[in-house]
Amino acid sequence: MRVLVLDDDESRHRRFALNLIGHEVAHVYSYDELAEAVEEADEKFEVMYLDHDLCEDHYRGASSEDCGVEDGRDAARHIARLPPERRPNLVFVHSMNHSGAKEMVSILVEAGIFATRRIFHGSSGTEISY
């Protein structure tokens, strides 16, 4: 299965990699990298994991506006604009930013893409799904 993981946190990428052994995984760290990976892929990504806060300074309380970068809503909008044959079958929004994650799921669902929120807590990677 082809999987794309969008997150700016390297430790989360390592946890995803451990859980996705045997799958073809593209690890991207920013909106720009996501857009490039999706546009240049020979085949669609069947599953995507998307984070909302895409700035290392979020961990110190900065907002996306403070960072001057696109956030997960921009990624969701980009995916929603893809032609149907390029859209993922399933999107998990794994952000701990409740309002941002909720908006991302809404953008994707309104475009006809199955999306849900799945949040990861703690250093052990314990999952709590919503």
The domain spans of the chain are 2-129
The yes-or-no verdict on residue 124 having pLDDT over 50 is no
- Residue length of the chain: 130
Flag whether the pTM goes above 0.85: no
Question: What is the distance between the alpha carbons of residues 5 and 94, in angstroms, rounded to a whole number?
Answer: 10
φ, ψ of residue 70 in degrees (nearest 5): -70, 155
Local structure of residue 69 (DSSP, 8 states): S
Q: What is the CATH number of domain 2-129?
A: 3.40.50.2300
The string of pLDDT tens digits covering residues 68-111 is 557 889 999 999 999 999 999 999 999 888 898 999 999 999 99
CA atoms within 13 Å, Cβ hemisphere of 93: 31
